[in-house]
Structure 1
Amino acid sequence: MKYSCPKCEFGLVIQKTFNKKFMITCSECGLQDIVDYAKNIDEVYLEFLARFDQGQTPDKKELNSQLKEEGIVRDKKEIEEMIGDNSPDPITKDILFSKKDYISLYKIIKAPEPEFGLSIDEMGLDDGIIQYLSKKNIAKFYKFQEDSILDIISGSNVIITAPTASGKTEAFAIPIIQKISKDSKSGTILAVFVYPTKALSRDQLPKIQEIAKSAGLSAAVFDGDTKQKERSEILDNPPHIVVTNFDVIHHHLMYRTRFASALSTVQYLIVDEAHVYSGIFGSNVHYIIKRLKRICKKIQFVAASATLDNAKEFCEQLFGEKMQLISGTGKKGETDFVMIFPSLRSQRALTIDLLEKLVTKKHKTMVFSNSHLNSELVAMQAKKKKIDIRVHRAGLMANYRNFVEKSFKEDRIMSISCTPTLELGIDVGNVDGVISSTIPVNRLMQRIGRAARKGQNGFAFLALGNDPISQYYKNHPDNYFEDVEKTYIDPKNPYVEEFHVLAMACDKPIVKHELSEHSEVIQRHIDQGRLILQENRYVPNYDSIKETINEYSIRGIGKSIDIFYNDKKIGERVLPMALEELHESAIYFLAGTRYKVKEFDYPQKQYAKLVSIPRDYPYYTKALTEEWPTIETVYEKRRAFGIEVFFCKLHIQKQVYGYVNIELGQEVTQGQKVLLDKPLEYDFITKGIVIHVPKPISQMESSENAEYVEASGYHATEHIIIEGSNMVTGGVSQDLGGISLGTSGLIFIYDGAIGGNGASKALYDRLEKAFERSLSIVKECPCNNESGCPRCTFSYRCGNNNEFLHKKASQEILQKINDGEITDVTEPTEGDKPLV
């Protein structure tokens, strides 16, 4: 059916609104109307025609009032009040007044003017360093740089927090190099600079080498990509400074290599991008630092980060040392910031529209997505608009990522669609605009820090999505800046502790009575034959531990599945996510191209073979999964309001049993579920919380299918608590999984990492706030659907395709929790269906 305007016969645009209504617009004569939800657009059009014939379509004033009342768009006056005395760029102004979206917030982000300190020749620095700074046109230090340099030279352990591109590298590299130059010994490694990725190490090496060379010192990268010839040269004639990562330090210490021996002379450990070492990765790094201390006489520690809210507390836990905090600012241009809620279109449509506006005006732009799939979909749909864009994400081959970085830096492409791989400080040159999906504010500021680094005006857009968090921030934008992500580690993670005590014995035999704080773990290793007592020292039984030390991952990730196309490796994906994305017949996105999985070999050979599909193929796939939890050990228990909560060790069994096809652009399921001939299975031990929530009795009594309402209410509640937890625990929901067990009322929320990562513990400690936020999310969502919607009960991580959800039952459950109803954790009911 052609949808023609009854007034002028021009074509109509029919858009679904965020609150499940339809907006009809004629761009020719200006006729507009809002029609209530119907099952298909034909019904919407017929309803609109009936309203027009009866003279019920609103005039412009009535429509604007309705749009404002329903939270679809803001009126002109509200936008003008937001702008105030500011003068937004014409691009920003066009977006603010477009009436295509709901503008949640507009502000100008202006960094405070940096405070200057002493001039470079007043600091007692080496003449060569002064000459280096003069060549860089640096005459004075910022005050935070001055403080950092003096404190590091005096021997303090220091944390430096300052924005991206504010001069942090100079603040820690200059004093370390100054100290080494006064006590340098050729052939001795004195300082280790650690970065979280190999790419960032190599990006920062030239600057470190240049400063080192000015003082007569040497620096080199030693990591997994260092060629054998270069390794031999480094080991035969060690540089004063080594740039590496914790993966390399861990491996070489444990296998007692020549590099491990060379590390025994280290006096300074510098850790940049310290905020990365959160969760399971940070818990492992804590122990690697502890192991490094065992083989070195004395180490001075320096940490740096642009985004660490609880910097002192976190770094003292990470390093196990008292630290001194120094904060600073740097010079950069003003940035127009807009928080936008896509009330009349999808988040991806909004993102591509913003990107097109910036790129058309020759503004280089980075688009940050929170998943591999979204980064690929943004690039694919942007290319249809003739936008010059490339994908940059983990899982792509390193040479391809390097090509994308270089092309963007050299202005050969105008935009990048990326995941958090480019949040870190890799130099990609001049950036004017940043568009980001919803993330905690710390990480948003890290992303925004990419823009306007050369002093030009910048653009930063937070494109909210169709999810509970976005709905909440649409209505409470000021809260966004208060919900700061807390970095966290769990040094008492038993899985991590057990492994690293074993690794310590591999690094260097453990003297009897050494490491008394780990005596129970040591005894357990002895009892199980993994450690042997020889001459009052504990040494590893390599026959018993070989498999353990070879397979352990400090980043809390499983093995990778290699991805092949035409017999050539083109990427990789870690387990268990690979099971969901690379099962047989899955549609897989890689570097902006879609493929179909022809063959998936797991668990034996662990590879996937891809084949091409037509460019106009209309679907991609989403896996269907099931999970089953078992409580192994209860560590702690308490009550949150009246709800009994267990914090415990859990055994999780996961299964991918099928998939559905999703239509590109429409983002709706098409056709029936497809079941795999042989389900894929994966299981692991982790930590998590268990609660038994109240029954939604009122909703059950008013329904003909009480069992369905009950189970669906529990499942929806599990979704909302996990999403709601993001705001009060600082973005941990991405590290959590969840299971509601049928009609038992039992909800399990667990750490996604093997052994645990501290995320569920953060939720356990703040559960009351998560319950309060969860109730706000479901109460404030305007949808009238029984199952809810993407802004309240749906979750993009749902393994049940967002089926078995009941909004009102969940609201009743959360209201009872917040009112203090008392429940106790019970045993699972046999036959309960797990909903994830």
Structure 2
Amino acid sequence: MEELRGLAAEVRKAVSDKGGKVIYEYNEFYGDPEPGPPVSEAGLSEPLINMLRSRGIERLYRFQWEAVNLANKGEDVVVISGTGTGKTEAFMIPVLERALRSRGEVVALLVYPTKALARDQARRLSSMMSGVGVPFAILDGDTPRDERRRIYENPPPILITNPDMLHVGLALSKDYRELVSTVGLVVIDELHVYQGVFGSHAKWILYRLQREAKGEVQFVGSAATIGNPEQLASELFSKEVAVVRGPRRRRGAATHLFVDYGNNSRWSFASYLISALTKLDLKVLAFTDSQQMAELVARIAKRSFSAEVGVHRAGLPVEQRKEVERAFAQGMLRAVVATSTLELGIDIGDLDAVVMASLPKSFSSYLQRAGRAGRRGRPGVIVTLLGDDPIEAYYASRPADFFNRPPDPGYIEPSNREVAKLHLVALSLQRGALRASELPAALLQVLNEVEEMGLVRARGDVVLATPRAAQDYVEARGIRSTGPIVKLHHGGRVIGEREMPMALYDLHPGAVYYHGGKVYLSTSLDLGRMRAELSPLPESVSFYTKPLYDIDVIDFSPQDSRLAGPVRLAYGDVHVMVSVRGYVVKDESSGQVLSEVYYEEPIKWDYITKGVMLKYPLLDFGGVEQSLSAYHALEHVLISASRPIVGASDTDLSGVSYPTGHIVIYDSHVGGNGASRLVFERLEEIEGMAEAIVGSCTCEDGCPRCVFSPYCGNNNKYLSRKGALKVLRALRGLGPERPEGLPSGGMRAA
């Protein structure tokens, strides 16, 4: 307790020394979960009892015992329990019991969301497996060819892998299919990660695994935080599950501090704080929700505060990320700035502090990140910067509400057509021949399109893969995205990549792009070849860029509709056109606009995704511009309020508004990610939070704390907080009756 108080006091002083202020402190102290039976009375085999006792475990926790009992009976189970509470034992005991009965074949798969995490967890779990004399193997893209051959010839009872390997192996390798066909138990750890596009891919990969299995496949899922485990797991596993719950929160002691960074910029204050904490001899992991901001924070920390800070994010070479992990774990690096890539449990050693440069996209994500600090019996401190952001302002005035929130729901879009196309082709390669009449509806609906692409051919009811299906499609497409990938070129080589449509916003000509600790200028973006050319900028550059763009909704095809009070809403396919017409240049330290640049011709790209169309009461605001400002502000605040309600990040959802009262909120990923479906289902909750945000703000008529968005393509022009509030209050019976119908045909964004 005293150690924790001292740690928090040091951090408070560092905050105040730079003009910041701690506006809320939350302390958590959690002991052991509720006890269960002694291991000798839990119905376990003798080798398991001896192994657990050798690890100092004489008694199971109650939730572990419940999960083990259900799993040993063959039921599909999801275990939800806080960080460090013993989820691993809950799924490993059934795995090891099954492995002890195996006869020269793989009986259990341990699936982790990334290759790095799978290998990291294999090191942690090896003592448990060797403790009962059960061999295991890691099989992923890095497994050498001769090692793969040994695995195929002498299968271990337990295989550790990742979804990417499952996807490619099932589609392209007969040996791999035979290897996993005997699997009876599949563990999906870090279940909360299987959301959005990645979750949609995982659903079909697990479906394909079940198609290959010789018997029934049982699933055990595990996660620390998720609001709808039964719904998400049932969607992923294509079967009903039982949910076992342990303690919601982490084990151990930690202090959480909400900090107002005063007159500093968010990114410079985060950089300062990282530097200040490392000077206190604390080991610090900082998080941002943007690849570019991770690079920027590390750059400012190094340039302005002489701090040696590593960067860990997607888009960097794997070896570079591994080197950062090694240096951080061994103490050669005292600070790392990361995106969600280090949110999972990769071993990076003991951490003293976690700094979040902004409030994470979801409460579940917050708990995951906070859980990295103070593990292995040490206290930790978690600092979160709150500033001019609608949701941050909301929780700055209601901090207790934040810590009392339930975990966010997980979401996927199982009918994503881009995802379905890939897995229809992969399944046709995997099975040799398919019967169209036996395909799930989501795969059947894309059959004609895939045939037109020349990837399969249908002969009556039989579907066969074409010769080009493997190399041209399955091998060329990953499962972490759905949009085309833009390759980043510099000096005659590829130095990175970015998925569309985000690549259009980050790599338009004239964009400043941070990569691997260096600063580049995007000199060209060729969308035909999906290629961006970068040239280096001097280290002294002190500005960054933001795109200016318009969104056109070319077409909307409704699939579902309902009424939410006076609001008519529909969910369906949205055909979107993005037009980048220029960019603004902003000062790195202050965020002030230095200049605006416009292209002679906009850069355009279109795609189809999922979205929800809303029709709000058409109120009299005194003119078209005033109406445009009201509904534009409403669109912004609805998207902001969606973040905590549906667990979506800023970049999961985008929107378009019209002075007619129509608003379209759509998934930012090609084909859809599932977030807008939750907006469709939970609009009333979102509107309630939106009204609280605009109703409690004291600005004149719009500011960063209520209706501004850092992702606004119009640079936050034409916004009216009062207009948005007027519409939201009209929903409570203060305004017109329900409007009729939805517009037909295409619409032009204002």
What TM-score do the two structures reach when normalised by structure 1?
0.81
* Distance in structure 1 (CA, Å) of the matches to 2:548 and 2:151: 50
How far apart are the structure 1 equivalents of 2:18 and 2:133? Answer: 61
Q: Partners in 1 of 2:566 and 2:129 — Cα distance?
A: 60
Q: Please point out which of 705, 708, 718 is paired with 1:804.
A: 718
Cα 1:403–1:96 change in 2 (3 A) is closer
Pairing of 1:438-477 with structure 2 (within 5 A): 438-439=359-360, 440-477=362-399
- 2:331 maps to a residue whose letter is D
Aligned to 2:242: 324
Q: Does 1:754 find its partner at 2:670? A: yes
Q: How many residues were matched structurally? A: 737
Equivalent position SS for 2:252: coil
DSSP 3-state at the match of 1:555: coil
The structure number with the bigger radius of gyration is: 1
- The residue number in structure 2 matching 1:12 is none
Q: CA deviation at 1:533?
A: 6.4
Change (3 A) 1:811 1:496: same
- Per-residue CA deviations over 1:451-489 (Å, capped at 9, x if unaligned) read 111212210122113211111111122332326311122
Distance 1:823 1:141, change over 3 A: same
1:789 and 2:700 equivalent? no
8 Å contact 1:771–1:817 — kept in the other structure?
Answer: no
Shift of 1:723: 0.7
| Deviating more after overlay: 440-449 vs 546-555 | 546-555
Structure 1 residue 498 displacement after superposition: 5.9
Report the Cα offset of residue 408 of structure 1.
1.0
Using the alignment, how far apart are the partners of 1:342 and 1:781 within structure 2?
A: 19
C-alpha distance in structure 2 between counterparts of 1:519 and 1:792, whole Å: 42
1:404 corresponds in structure 2 to: 324
Q: 1:829 to 1:318 in 2, by over 3 A?
A: closer
Cα shift at 1:209: 3.4
Alpha-carbon distance in 1 for matches of 2:611, 2:443: 25
For the residue of structure 1 that corresponds to 2:140, the secondary structure is coil
Q: What is the rounded CA distance, in whole Å, between the counterparts of 1:723 and 1:241 in structure 2? A: 44
Helix, strand or coil: the match of 1:110?
strand
Call closer, same or farther: CA 1:487–1:826 in 2, change over 3 Å: closer
How far does residue 527 in structure 1 lie from its aligned partner after superposition? 9.3
Is 1:764 aligned to residue 680 of structure 2?
yes
| Correspondence list, 1:122-137, <5 A | 122-123=41-42, 125=44, 129=48, 132-137=51-56
Q: Report how far residue 758 of structure 1 moved.
A: 1.8
SS in 2 for 1:834: coil
Counterparts of residues 17-28 of structure 1 (less than 5 Å): none
Distance 1:523 1:319 in 2: 23
Which residue matches 1:216?
133
Q: 2:177 — aligned with what?
A: 260
Indicate conservation of the 8 Å contact 1:335/1:459, yes or no. yes
> Is 2:410 aligned against 1:487?
yes
1:610–1:331: structure 2 CA closer, same or farther, 3 Å change rule? Answer: closer
- Does 2:204 correspond to 1:287? yes
Conserved in 2, the CA contact under 8 Å of 1:333 and 1:455? yes
Q: Is the counterpart of residue 368 in structure 1 residue 368 in structure 2?
A: no
2:740 pairs with 1:824: yes
Q: Aligned in 2, Cα 1:745/1:590: closer, same or farther, shift over 3 Å? A: same
After TM superposition, give the deviation of residue 519 of structure 1 in Å.
9.4
Contact 1:333 1:452 in 2 (8 A): yes
Residue 501 of structure 1: how far off its partner (Å): 4.7
- Separation (CA, whole Å) in 2 of partners of 1:657 and 1:522: 34
Residue of structure 1 in register with 2:90 after alignment: 171
Q: CA deviation at 1:677?
A: 5.5
Contact 1:564 1:610 in 2 (8 A): yes
Match of 2:217 in 1: 299
Q: Report the Cα distance in structure 1 between the residues aligned to 2:346 and 2:444, rounded to whole angstroms.
A: 43
Aligned-pair CA distance for 1:767 = 1.3
Shift of 1:763: 0.6
Q: Deviation of residue 448 (structure 1)?
A: 0.9
Q: Which residue of 1 aligns with 2:80?
A: 161
The residue number in structure 2 matching 1:229 is 146
Query: Aligned residue for 1:38?
Result: none
Mapping 1:608-757, distance limit 5 Å: 608-671=532-595, 673-676=596-599, 679-698=602-621, 700=622, 706-731=623-648, 733-741=650-658, 743-757=659-673
Contact 2:27 2:254 in 1 (8 A): yes
- Alpha-carbon displacement from aligned partner over 1:56-81 (angstroms, at most 9, x marks no partner): xxxxxxxxxxxxxxxxxxxxxxxxxx
1:429-578 mapped onto 2 (5 Å cutoff): 429-436=349-356, 437-439=358-360, 440-480=362-402, 481-482=404-405, 484-493=407-416, 496-497=419-420, 500-501=423-424, 503-508=426-431, 509-511=433-435, 514-515=438-439, 521=445, 538-542=462-466, 549=474, 553-578=478-503
Matched AA of 2:696: E
Q: Determine if the alignment matches structure 1 residue 388 to structure 2 residue 308.
A: yes
C-alpha distance in 1 between matches for 2:447 and 2:374? 56
Q: How far, CA to CA, are the matches of 2:664 and 2:90 in structure 1? A: 45
Q: 1:680 to 1:236 in 2, by over 3 A?
A: farther
Is the Cα contact below 8 Å between 1:483 and 1:727 reproduced in 2? no
| Distance in 2 between residues matched to 1:512 and 1:724, nearest whole Å | 42
Residue 493 and residue 238 in structure 1: after superposition, are their counterparts in 2 closer, same or farther (change >3 A)?
Answer: same
Question: What secondary structure, in the 3-state scheme, does the structure 2 residue paired with 1:610 have?
Answer: strand
1:532 Cα deviation after fit? 5.9
**Superposed displacement of residue 500, structure 1:** 3.9
**1:342 Cα deviation after fit:** 3.3
Show structure 2 runs of 5+ residues with no match.
none
Residue 106 in structure 1 maps to residue 25 in structure 2: yes
Judge conservation of contact 2:33–2:85 (CA < 8 Å) in 1: no
Give the deviation of 1:206 after TM superposition: 1.9
SS of the residue aligned with 1:799?
coil
Q: Return the offset for 1:526.
A: 10
Is the CA contact (8 Å cut-off) linking 2:225 and 2:407 kept in structure 1?
A: no
Partners of 2:589 and 2:387 in 1: how far apart?
15
Equivalent residues of 2:112, 2:188 under 8 A apart: yes
8 Å Cα contact 2:283-2:334 kept in structure 1: yes
Q: Which residue identity lines up with residue 719 of structure 1 in the other structure? A: H
What is the rounded CA distance, in whole Å, between the counterparts of 2:238 and 2:278 in structure 1? Answer: 47
Q: Aligned equivalents of 1:828 and 1:626: distance in 2?
A: 20
Task: Deviation per CA, 1:345-397: give whole Å up to 9, x if none.
Answer: 33334433433442222111111111112212221222221223111111111
Q: What's the counterpart of residue 240 of structure 1?
A: 157
Q: CA RMSD in A?
A: 3.1
Return the alpha-carbon distance in structure 2 between the equivalents of residues 739 and 527 of structure 1: 34
**Does the 8 Å CA contact 1:198/1:223 hold for their aligned counterparts?**
yes
Task: Kindly state the Cα deviation for residue 521 of structure 1 after the two structures are TM-superposed.
Answer: 3.6
The 3-state SS of whatever aligns with 1:750 is strand
Equivalent residue for 1:588?
513
Whether the 8 Å contact between 1:332 and 1:452 is mirrored in structure 2 is: no
Compute the displacement of 1:111 (Å): 1.9
1:444/1:196 Cα in 2 relative to 1: closer, same or farther (>3 Å)? same
In the alignment, is residue 413 of structure 1 matched against residue 322 of structure 2? no
How many Å separate the matches in 2 of 1:331 and 1:648? 39
Alpha-carbon spacing, 1:435–1:518, altered in 2? closer, same or farther (3 Å) = closer
Equivalent pairs: percent with the same residue? 31
Written as runs of structure 1 = structure 2, the 5 A alignment for 1:42-121 is: 89-94=8-13, 100-101=19-20, 103-121=22-40
Judge conservation of contact 1:486–1:730 (CA < 8 Å) in 2: yes
Q: Distance in 2 between the 1:149 and 1:642 partners?
A: 49
Q: Which amino acid aligns with 1:470?
A: E
**SS state of the match for residue 232, structure 1?**
helix
Tell me how far apart the structure 1 counterparts of residues 146 and 260 of structure 2 sit (CA, whole Å): 54
Higher RCO (C-alpha 8 Å, min separation 6): 2
TM-score by length of 2: 0.90
C-alpha contact 1:691 1:825 (8 A) present in aligned 2: no
- 1:318 shift after superposition: 1.9
Letter matched to residue 723 of structure 2? A
The reply on whether 1:148 has 2:67 as its aligned counterpart is: yes
In the alignment, what sits opposite 1:274? 191
Contact 2:429–2:465 under 8 Å retained in 1? no
